[in-house]
Structure 1
């Protein structure tokens, strides 16, 4: 792990930040920060692993949040699929719908462009 920068709150954590396990091994990148900002409740992170699959890191499994990286308190093997957590499963399904919608918008723009 290189310099991860200053510690940040979950509200300042951006998608795409690298995620490392407790041994410093690269797990993947932050896909979604799961939180109820109105109630100030941090639930956890959906992580896009290198294998392009999603993993869920619960709040209790997260050690520190930094500008340029997240360090977990557990090894990768202790992370589970987002489908095993109701909030994470909903966020992952919303992401798939958003990506499909964006693809359809691009296709419509291409089809309807002036020729």
Structure 2
């Protein structure tokens, strides 16, 4: 039996399912306001691209993944995530062996990341 977990324990790549148990996609990023300990929702990688799943659409978060109240026919109509927190790493910019490359990877300098379009 899958055990319930906190949203803060969710990892990138965790499976997200529809209300009927079909695979909706995978967790890309948890959207939260850490100062308020407030779960806002998820950025989910779907076959329609990156989509936002609101916190009130999440029915459970367990060690097996995230279950939602979203039907398969609703997935394409989900909005894309918005805001500054939606970033995607550019793996080609994480290349290099020098000290500058290490610092860029360690502190995630803004020029080492690009905003997802």
Q: Same fold (TM over 0.5)?
A: yes
**Map 1:57-96 → 2, pairs under 5 A:** 57-79=53-75, 80-83=78-81, 86-87=82-83, 90-92=84-86, 94-95=87-88
The CA RMSD over aligned residues, in Å, is 2.1
The structure whose residues are more often strand, as a share, is: 2
Shift of 1:72: 0.1
Matched, 1:9 2:6: yes
> Normalization by structure 2: what TM-score?
0.70
> Normalization by structure 1: what TM-score?
0.72
The structure whose residues are more often helix, as a share, is: 1
Shift of 1:22: 0.5
List 4+ stretches of structure 1 deviating above 4 A.
Answer: none
Match of 2:19 in 1: 22
For structure 2, which runs of at least 5 residues remain unmatched after alignment? 98-117
For structure 1, which runs of at least 5 residues remain unmatched after alignment? 110-115
Distance 2:71 2:24 in 1: 9
3-state DSSP class of the match of 2:85? helix
Matched, 1:54 2:43: no
